[in-house]
Structure 1
Amino acid sequence: MHSGIANVWRERWRLIGFAAVAAALIAYLGISLVVADSVTRPYRRALASSPAVFGLDYEDVTFPSTGDAVPLSGWFLPAAGSDHVVVIVHGRNSSRTGDSGELVPHAAALVERGYNVLAVDFRGHGESGGLRYTLGTAEQRDVLGAVAYLEERGFAPARIGFWAHSMGAATVLLTAATSPAVHTVVADSSFARLDDLLAEQLPRTSGLPGFFNPPILFFARVVFDSDASIVNPEDVVAGMPRDSLFIIHAEGDRLIPVDHAHRIAAAAGPAVHDLW
């Protein structure tokens, strides 16, 4: 009789243990899915400034991304008599104005120096369409859409340059590896490898231990089409033309450490015009 009771309790504890493990696994995966959703869902900021603040003429423009036709919004700022144009590309959770309007003075300075400017909102940002971003994969189609739009306006690819920031800089560098139309780039605060950056930053930003990273990145890739393992500018910049890349990075950058800039420069070799 006693052995029968003991067997019943052993079975109950076995089932309790199994249920506890299953509940922990479900929580582990569920939390990871929620974080993956958050990581790929942009915070859509309102535009923080306008070229009108600087007395500049500008046009509100729209054009589709290349390949998937996501509607993109931006400003075109003309420079009289110039056939050169610079595309300003923002970072994650930002817009064509920058977080607090800091990119608009950049545009004004370029126009003053004789460059037309196209300032564009990535998909899911600013006034562009789309609900998600993919941390630099699908956004390459936005970069190509900007080039196609400028070509329609009569600009030759050889006259198109990019001034890109953070995730935008990484995206432009990746696009340059596959499109000869993207060949002159100022890369401000790009990461070298996204998976390296996320290994450092995901635990800090999510508040979760590092062992949550693998399922978060798995769900980001499989469910939300954001594959961090292929967003690696340092793997592709060696093919850029000589003296075509100007790298800028703050030594005290706490989000993307400055060693990412040095890694990109080392990989790019003679493509680097300067590292500042």
Structure 2
Amino acid sequence: MQLFPVAYAERKSVLPKNIFLSVIYILVLLLVAVAAISFFSAWKITHPNKVTTPQISSNIAPDYNNISFTVGESKEKINGWFFPYSGSKKTVLMVHGYGKNRLQFEEQTFPLIASLNKEGFNVMTFDLRGSGNSSGSMSTFGRNETSDVLSGIKYLNQKSTEQIILMGFSTGASSCLSALTQTPYRDSIIGVIADSPYSNIDDYIDYIVESSTLLPAIPFKPAVKFAVKKISKIDNSLDIISKVPFIIPTPILLIDGAQDIPGTSDNTKLIYEVYKRKSPVQAHYWNSGAAEYGESYLSAQDKYIDQVIDFSNECVEEAKKSAQK
């Protein structure tokens, strides 16, 4: 019987290859999970729940009229209130911040409005797109909001307002400053009151992301920030610091607090410092000492109202002097 030799082939281990593929699959799954969670978080940030305007009884609010106007190519409807002072042609246009509505401080806003009324100012306050009772669902941190302010300025000019003071909070503050540089009705704007504006949009989006999500900073913060900017289509063209030369020489009052949040307080002070260096007109800056961002009014209401009234009356006097020259 003939015996044939049997050849034995060494079996190569597939374990390293399987481990490598498993690691790749896990990394891909993690990346997909991070991307999905980041996009979902960014969507919630750019589409905040609307804070609807409550029914207000006449005993806590000054007399007002409902107003509305349209914005954008799609003619989205903006709704608001107009608090008149009989015969006055000077109006404070009040613009709320992110996640708020026409009553920036809810019912606590009325003492501020009433104080301006007593000084002879009309007050107009409205819900930005995606807020309150206005159309839309998205916040764009100044892109659409600036257009809303521009439409509000146009509305007032068509209603025979001759002097406008823009007053905004947070996103609304930066939108007012940006609108000032774009409006064809620039001559009617005699001053801007900006409470906690951002000087550059990146710092502000950092703050919004940090304060709106409990996700770990790494790896989520950069991913969420990227998604927020893409969804809302914002870029550095919204930076206010680059617009300061075009804001000058309109008088401004910048309001800030002493909050320990990176970037937010420094943003407001930076606008003041640049304006002060470049403008022949005095810039006004008041730090309330508030411990929380955007809460200067709530922390020192009487002093806040005094600052606003003094500045507003000063703007009227300066406008009168300029008209007499």
Could you tell me the TM-score, scaled by structure 2's length? 0.76
Residues 51 and 90 (structure 1), Cα distance of their counterparts in 2 relative to 1, 3 Å cut: farther
Amino acid at match of 2:195: D
Pairing partner for 2:171 from 160, 167, 170: 167
Residues 106 and 50 (structure 1), Cα distance of their counterparts in 2 relative to 1, 3 Å cut: farther
How far residue 68 of structure 1 moved from its aligned partner, in angstroms, is 4.3
Counterparts in 2 of 1:74-113, with a 5 A limit? 74-113=80-119
Counterpart-to-counterpart distance in 2, 1:236 and 1:83 = 28
Q: What corresponds to 2:294 in structure 1? A: none
Residues 3 and 22 (structure 1), Cα distance of their counterparts in 2 relative to 1, 3 Å cut: farther
Q: What corresponds to 1:249 in structure 2? A: 256
Q: What corresponds to 1:217 in structure 2? A: 225
Pairing partner for 1:273 from 279, 283, 308: 283
Q: What corresponds to 2:192 in structure 1? A: 185
Counterpart-to-counterpart distance in 2, 1:99 and 1:239 = 30
Residues 50 and 237 (structure 1), Cα distance of their counterparts in 2 relative to 1, 3 Å cut: farther
Amino acid at match of 1:86: V
Q: What corresponds to 1:129 in structure 2? A: 135
Counterpart-to-counterpart distance in 2, 1:138 and 1:274 = 27
Q: Is the 8 A contact 2:275 2:283 kept in 1?
A: no
Counterparts in 2 of 1:150-161, with a 5 A limit? 150-156=156-162, 159-161=163-165
Pairing partner for 1:262 from 258, 262, 269: 269
Q: Is the 8 A contact 2:167 2:176 kept in 1?
A: no
How far residue 200 of structure 1 moved from its aligned partner, in angstroms, is 4.8
Alignment of 1:198 onto 2:205: yes
Counterpart-to-counterpart distance in 1, 2:203 and 2:60 = 39
How far residue 242 of structure 1 moved from its aligned partner, in angstroms, is 2.2
Amino acid at match of 2:88: S
Q: Is the 8 A contact 2:192 2:250 kept in 1?
A: no
Counterpart-to-counterpart distance in 2, 1:45 and 1:99 = 12
How far residue 129 of structure 1 moved from its aligned partner, in angstroms, is 0.7
Q: Is the 8 A contact 2:207 2:264 kept in 1?
A: no
Residues 253 and 21 (structure 1), Cα distance of their counterparts in 2 relative to 1, 3 Å cut: closer
How far residue 240 of structure 1 moved from its aligned partner, in angstroms, is 1.5
Residues 51 and 171 (structure 1), Cα distance of their counterparts in 2 relative to 1, 3 Å cut: farther
Counterpart-to-counterpart distance in 2, 1:101 and 1:150 = 24
How far residue 105 of structure 1 moved from its aligned partner, in angstroms, is 1.9
Residues 272 and 233 (structure 1), Cα distance of their counterparts in 2 relative to 1, 3 Å cut: farther
Q: Is the 8 A contact 2:195 2:254 kept in 1?
A: yes
Amino acid at match of 1:102: Q
String of CA shifts for 1:42-64, please: whole Å, max 9, x gaps: 22113257482345221111111
Q: Is the 8 A contact 1:84 1:155 kept in 2?
A: yes
Counterpart-to-counterpart distance in 2, 1:203 and 1:89 = 24
Residues 272 and 201 (structure 1), Cα distance of their counterparts in 2 relative to 1, 3 Å cut: farther
Q: Is the 8 A contact 2:209 2:224 kept in 1?
A: no
Q: Is the 8 A contact 2:70 2:151 kept in 1?
A: yes
How far residue 180 of structure 1 moved from its aligned partner, in angstroms, is 4.7
Counterparts in 2 of 1:17-36, with a 5 A limit? 17-36=23-42
Alignment of 1:141 onto 2:147: yes
Which one has a bigger Cα radius of gyration?
A: 2
Q: Is the 8 A contact 1:48 1:97 kept in 2?
A: no
Residues 228 and 102 (structure 1), Cα distance of their counterparts in 2 relative to 1, 3 Å cut: farther
Q: How many residues align?
A: 272
Amino acid at match of 2:102: R
Could you tell me the TM-score, scaled by structure 1's length? 0.88
How far residue 253 of structure 1 moved from its aligned partner, in angstroms, is 6.4
- How much identity, in percent, do the aligned residues show? 24
Which segments of 5 or more consecutive residues in structure 2 lack a partner in the other structure? 1-7, 287-325
Output the aligned Cα RMSD: 2.4
Alignment of 1:114 onto 2:129: no
How far residue 171 of structure 1 moved from its aligned partner, in angstroms, is 1.1
SS at match of 1:258: helix
Residues 21 and 210 (structure 1), Cα distance of their counterparts in 2 relative to 1, 3 Å cut: closer
